[in-house]
Structure 1
Amino acid sequence: MSSHRSDASAHRRFTARPVSLRPPRELARSALLSPLLGTALRLARWCGPVTRVDVQGLPDLNDTRAAIREFGLWPRHLRREEHHRDLWLRRLASPKQASRFLHPWRTALRLGLVECETAQARPAPDLDRWSGSTDRVLRWWTLSFQECVERSLRGVADVEPDTALSRLYEAPDGARVPLGRMTHEVTTAQEEAYLPVHRPGRNLGRLARGVLQLRDTGAVTVIRDGRPGAGPEEHGPERIWVELTDLGRYGVRQILLARRCPAPLIEDFVRLEADRFLDALATFSPDGQLLALTSWLDTRSPENALREIVAVAAGPGRALRRWNAALALGTVSSRIEPSLRRLLEHPDPTVAGMASVVLLSSHMLSEVEREELSVAFGHWTAIDVFAAATAMGETGLKSFLASEAAEGIDRRLFDDVGRLWNPEHPDTREVLRMLGRHHPDPWVAARARAAQAQAPAS
């Protein structure tokens, strides 16, 4: 059995990419300026010294109308229609009909910004002192963010919050994610998890409304045609971009940590030893891998990075680590070309094969050199690549076999079956078994089974 399979499950867990966060004091300042928490605090102070409330903790209509006027808590469709506001207020039959008042008021109650007893509401005694505490403010904001995530994404958008949030979190800092693409990816993820989904147009509209609500926390910016603040109710959801703010990145990370999902900070990640760095790469998204590679390599000279990586990637049972090592070294290959060429003569085939992969994927070789390396290392490194894919389990292998990266490698593997055993890769037999069982091309699968039958006695 392959030496990788025992730890394959570890590579299937979700690991968030490394991120950089602003200092806590700056994040707290942004939290206080966010619409939801900022309004909740203003309403908490407004209700003093006391305000009469019903059994549900809601003020009467007259007080509700006064708060709406004082803080401008109008429905979004009335933001530019001042002449309709008085009519809307007169028709207001309950505070529950005024969502822009109701949500921050209930947030103030849940966070303890307002105390309710004997049908009266008043500001919490220590409210002013608490609002000056960075830790307290960030705790308030995180709790309100988590509640809004459930209400807006699960409740309104009817999507799994983790899927939507991870799509935004994995995007590079400052990246704008098209809402249409985000909807497609969330829908696809729910289908793969056998969760119910709606029609594409309905999904887009639901997610647009959910994201609009999430914007009130200050966690996301909604952008349309380059204008921040434009929303689906104004333009329709089909041409909207969503960007996670610094505060939003902090909030999503708090959710991940609460669920015991690894969510490293860049300043911690760059100090990882090479083995932990390479193993972590296997679990990142493509965007996350690029950021992780750049951050880790920027703290080392290319030669030092090469020495650290070779030391932990050599030997049997480390094919997946070598896959990621080749990815990392490929970003600095032009600066370590002489060292890579020397490694081609290394007596350990795992080291020489890894160096050949890096050189072959670069643009530094002539056609003659590429052909010579392909002949010398082609079969061994092809097995190493398939062994790395096999290390991610059957799902990972099938995904790799269906990708462009596998095109041609599988067929070239069998142009000279005898070379599969000279020298023999420690995972050759397991790779042939997995290809024989799971390769989508019947010809390749049959050749893999035939090669397995021709294996020399071990």
Structure 2
Amino acid sequence: MSADSHPTLPPVRLHSDAELARDALGAPLFARAVRLARWAGTDTRVGVGGELAADQLPEAAALLGLDAADGDSAGYVSQAWRVAVDTGLVDVTEPDDDGDESGASEASGEERFGTAAPGEDLALVTSGAPGDVLDLWLAALDTVLADASVPDLDDLVDALDAGGEIDFDRLDWNPGREADFLDGVLANLYLLTVTEGGAADGPVPLPVLAASMVVPDDMGEPTDAVLEQVSDAMMRLDDQFRQLEPIGLVEFRPVDEELMAEADGPLDGAGEAGEADDEDDEDVSRYGMVRLTPLGLYGIRARMLEAGVDAPALGELSEKGADVLLDAVSLYSENAAQAEIEQWLAGREQPAAAAELLAAARGDDEGGPLRRLRCQQALAPAGPEAESAVRSVLDDPELGGLARVWLAERGAGDVPAPDPEMVFWLTVDTIAAQLATDGETDELPLLMETLTAHHAGFFEQVWRVEHPATAYVLEAMGRLHPDRKAAKEARKAAFKARSRRPV
């Protein structure tokens, strides 16, 4: 899974390891692998690749509650057995020729078999910790993802050359490329799920995922050729998600078979299916819908972490210091930051937590304004116990304004009025934090107007403020301030602020 596409992702809210382990044990494919591992014994025979002997497939199918007469049952058994072997739930000893180099056994037509037995890791299913079960499930997921990247049997048969070997050029299949494609799809599905305002808990239309992998970001109206690629990608994903659902990674509604039968070539409307309004939800769902399960979120995040992607989870900062907390949540949405802060505060004494947060909020670096905004957010629910820590920074040039706001909101008495320099410094810091949080939003001009309306000669004084973001903030005010005269004054003040700072 590439670490380049999304180097930093929004935080995900994961279920507990115990809940996820129960989900893993309940995943149909994993449960089948466990049952086969318990069944393996002295009478189990395996071939050269560790696969079950053909004559044992009916017995294994019956064990799994499958109808041996069903043409698909052998495939289900073989997949579950492969998962059991790959995860260490089953240990196999492949057949050997006992040192016979003459080929006598081949000449006699006698087929040789190896043996199988429950593996040491099988005990972890019942006696291991939840993390042990999840490790086994992740190993099973790797096997299933590898299988899902392989073309179906019909394509492989069609690509056989005269010598019975697979002609990869004819098949147009590159294992690395196919694995990267599926990893990219799952990464995009994960991003849509964890991004605030994205898919959240709702399913994602298959055309949306296909288009995310095919349509260039800078393309306006997709061409017919691109739409055909989207349609082809959809059908690949339809087959792959069918394979991924039994391991518990996704909940999947396949492409409507009637829709495929009606289509003449590429699926008509596939390119627009993800853009329909609520009235067309039923039509959109015919093109396939998919969502990651809680276990799937855990699994994809684990693979991203292994690839070096920064994929945070809510709650993982609860044992970290306030400096780490504020730096991290500065990159989060407001809701995600609030959730992380609440978990960090839980179990901590308020006075000590407040003092640690205030100390971590200091700094004249670029991230300072946003740290102080998150600090203010963290202190908002604090009660009277935190007042002594807040009062201790009243004279601090960076935190004094924040402290006064906190005390004033609680009706505290004996709060000294801020001097003009602190007022202007706090104004610059506040706007800088808002710009860093959401950019140039529609609400920001109103904030600027409110902050400047009560100070005569505001721009003549503010450009002198010793804050690293002064010029940057004034330039933004010159673009966004709703009063044209004030905007012009802001641009002049920005020029002065730039001129007085060393290059």
Partner amino acid, structure 2, of 1:178: G
Moved more, 106-115 or 203-212: 203-212
Instruction: Identify which of 45, 50, 64 aligns with 2:44.
Output: 50
1:115 aligns with 2:92: yes
Alignment CA distance shift 1:200-1:181 (3 Å): farther
Please tell me whether the aligned partners of residues 18 and 288 of structure 1 are also in contact (alpha carbons under 8 angstroms).
no
1:269 aligns with 2:311: no
- d(CA) in 1 for partners of 2:214, 2:397: 43
Moved more, 416-425 or 257-266: 257-266
Please tell me whether the aligned partners of residues 351 and 389 of structure 2 are also in contact (alpha carbons under 8 angstroms).
no
Stretches of structure 1 that go unaligned for 5 or more consecutive residues are 1-10, 75-84, 223-229, 366-371
Instruction: Identify which of 434, 452, 455 aligns with 2:494.
Output: 452
User: Corresponding residue for 1:314?
Assistant: 362
User: Corresponding residue for 1:408?
Assistant: 446
Q: Secondary structure at the match of 1:43?
A: helix
User: Corresponding residue for 1:427?
Assistant: 469
Please tell me whether the aligned partners of residues 207 and 230 of structure 2 are also in contact (alpha carbons under 8 angstroms).
no
Moved more, 36-45 or 202-211: 202-211
Instruction: Identify which of 78, 82, 96 aligns with 1:106.
Output: 82
- The CA deviation string for residues 111-159 of structure 1, in whole angstroms up to 9 with x for no partner, is 3425252353532464555655527644321111244456669769784
Please tell me whether the aligned partners of residues 27 and 247 of structure 2 are also in contact (alpha carbons under 8 angstroms).
yes
Stretches of structure 2 that go unaligned for 5 or more consecutive residues are 1-5, 96-111, 150-177, 257-281, 412-416
User: Corresponding residue for 2:202?
Assistant: 178
Alignment CA distance shift 1:200-1:217 (3 Å): same
User: Corresponding residue for 1:216?
Assistant: 246
Alignment CA distance shift 1:353-1:244 (3 Å): farther
Please tell me whether the aligned partners of residues 379 and 413 of structure 1 are also in contact (alpha carbons under 8 angstroms).
no
Greater length-normalized contact order (CA 8 Å, ≥ 6 residues apart): 1
Alignment CA distance shift 1:106-1:193 (3 Å): farther
- The CA deviation string for residues 30-72 of structure 1, in whole angstroms up to 9 with x for no partner, is 5444322221233345454233547684643x54344334413
User: Corresponding residue for 1:225?
Assistant: none
Partner amino acid, structure 2, of 1:140: L
Alignment CA distance shift 1:282-1:378 (3 Å): same
- d(CA) in 1 for partners of 2:319, 2:462: 39
Pairwise CA distance, 1:237: 7.2
Please tell me whether the aligned partners of residues 188 and 212 of structure 2 are also in contact (alpha carbons under 8 angstroms).
no
- d(CA) in 2 for partners of 1:280, 1:200: 39
Describe how 1:246-265 pairs up with structure 2 within 5 A: 247-248=295-296, 250-261=298-309
- The CA deviation string for residues 406-458 of structure 1, in whole angstroms up to 9 with x for no partner, is 3434566777311323544232134446777x9899x7987654322233745
User: Corresponding residue for 1:294?
Assistant: 342
Alignment CA distance shift 1:139-1:457 (3 Å): closer
Q: Secondary structure at the match of 2:398?
A: helix
Instruction: Identify which of 222, 231, 244 aligns with 2:293.
Output: 244
Q: Secondary structure at the match of 2:394?
A: coil
- The CA deviation string for residues 380-400 of structure 1, in whole angstroms up to 9 with x for no partner, is 34421443467x6xxx7xx51
- d(CA) in 1 for partners of 2:206, 2:330: 23
Partner amino acid, structure 2, of 1:321: R
Partner amino acid, structure 2, of 1:21: S
1:387 aligns with 2:428: no
Describe how 1:3-402 pairs up with structure 2 within 5 A: 13-14=8-9, 16-17=11-12, 19=14, 21-23=16-18, 31-46=24-39, 48=41, 49-51=43-45, 53=47, 57=51, 59-60=53-54, 63-73=56-66, 86=69, 88-89=70-71, 95=74, 98=75, 100-112=76-88, 113-115=90-92, 117-118=94-95, 120-124=113-117, 126-127=119-120, 129=123, 134=128, 137-149=133-145, 159-168=184-193, 177-180=201-204, 213-219=243-249, 222=251, 231-232=253-254, 238=285, 242=291, 244-245=293-294, 247-248=295-296, 250-261=298-309, 269-317=317-365, 318-330=368-380, 332=381, 346-355=394-403, 379-388=424-433, 400-401=439-440
- d(CA) in 1 for partners of 2:353, 2:61: 60
Q: Percent identity?
A: 24
Aligned length: 397
The TM-score with structure 1 as length reference comes to: 0.64
- d(CA) in 1 for partners of 2:133, 2:114: 21
Q: Secondary structure at the match of 1:177?
A: coil
The TM-score with structure 2 as length reference comes to: 0.59
Pairwise CA distance, 1:18: 6.8
- d(CA) in 2 for partners of 1:208, 1:377: 60
Alignment CA distance shift 1:389-1:22 (3 Å): same
Alignment CA distance shift 1:125-1:217 (3 Å): closer
Pairwise CA distance, 1:255: 2.6
Partner amino acid, structure 2, of 1:42: R
Please tell me whether the aligned partners of residues 353 and 377 of structure 1 are also in contact (alpha carbons under 8 angstroms).
yes
Please tell me whether the aligned partners of residues 205 and 237 of structure 1 are also in contact (alpha carbons under 8 angstroms).
no
Pairwise CA distance, 1:302: 4.5
Partner amino acid, structure 1, of 2:188: T
- d(CA) in 2 for partners of 1:182, 1:404: 33
Alignment CA distance shift 1:388-1:212 (3 Å): farther
Q: Secondary structure at the match of 1:454?
A: helix
Please tell me whether the aligned partners of residues 380 and 425 of structure 1 are also in contact (alpha carbons under 8 angstroms).
yes
- d(CA) in 2 for partners of 1:33, 1:342: 54
Q: Secondary structure at the match of 1:122?
A: strand
Please tell me whether the aligned partners of residues 21 and 133 of structure 2 are also in contact (alpha carbons under 8 angstroms).
yes
Structure label with greater radius of gyration: 2
- d(CA) in 2 for partners of 1:193, 1:325: 36
Q: Secondary structure at the match of 2:17?
A: coil
- d(CA) in 2 for partners of 1:419, 1:407: 20
Pairwise CA distance, 1:295: 0.8
Partner amino acid, structure 2, of 1:313: A
Q: Quote the RMSD (CA, aligned, Å).
A: 5.2
- d(CA) in 1 for partners of 2:324, 2:127: 36
Pairwise CA distance, 1:314: 3.1
